[in-house]
Amino acid sequence: MIELCGGLLFRDGKVLMFEEEEDKLSVPQTEGEHGELSADAAERISEELTGCECETYKYRGGLKATFEDGDETVVWQPFVVEAPEEAEPDGQWVDPEELDEDDVVEPLDQVLEDVADLA
């Protein structure tokens, strides 16, 4: 089993997303390093992608999702992460209500409506 930790960064009703694969968008997400807490992994990848100090704010267990990736079961652990207001990341701020499941990677396709409700 693989645990994938995701960072949800919101601003003005939009979520920060990055192009990940073949024109599909994703939030910052990564596998945790050995001994690293899931919240810390979500914070770390958010900091790497935004280029600024971030802080894990809240675990969103209701958005937790499981999917299959080849022979592996992947469990996605989502956290709301805060970044400084002045942060200007290379990603794009996207209104999640304007996306459909074909626009995003797994497991966001499963929880997109719930992410939109949080924005």
Say which amino acid occupies 10: F
What pLDDT, on a 0 to 100 scale, did the predictor assign at position 90? 83
What pLDDT, on a 0 to 100 scale, did the predictor assign at position 23? 86
- Whole-number Å distance between alpha carbons of 19 and 21: 6
What pLDDT, on a 0 to 100 scale, did the predictor assign at position 11? 92
What pLDDT, on a 0 to 100 scale, did the predictor assign at position 88? 77
- Nearest to residue 107, comparing CAs of 81, 74, 79? 74
- Nearest to residue 1, comparing CAs of 88, 66, 94? 66
Instruction: Give me the tens of pLDDT residue by residue for the chain, a chain 119 residues long.
Output: 999 999 999 999 999 999 987 789 999 999 999 999 999 999 999 999 999 999 998 999 999 999 998 999 999 999 999 988 877 788 899 999 999 999 999 999 999 999 999 99
What pLDDT, on a 0 to 100 scale, did the predictor assign at position 29? 94
Q: Is 113 left (phi over 0), alpha (psi -120 to 50) or beta?
A: alpha
Structure-token match 């979520």, residue found: 15
What pLDDT, on a 0 to 100 scale, did the predictor assign at position 20? 85
Give the CA distances from residue 5 to residues 2, 88, 98, in Å, rounded to whole numbers and listed in that order: 10, 22, 24
Residues in CB range of 101: below 8 A, 6 or more apart: 109, 110, 112
* pTM of this prediction exceeds 0.75: yes
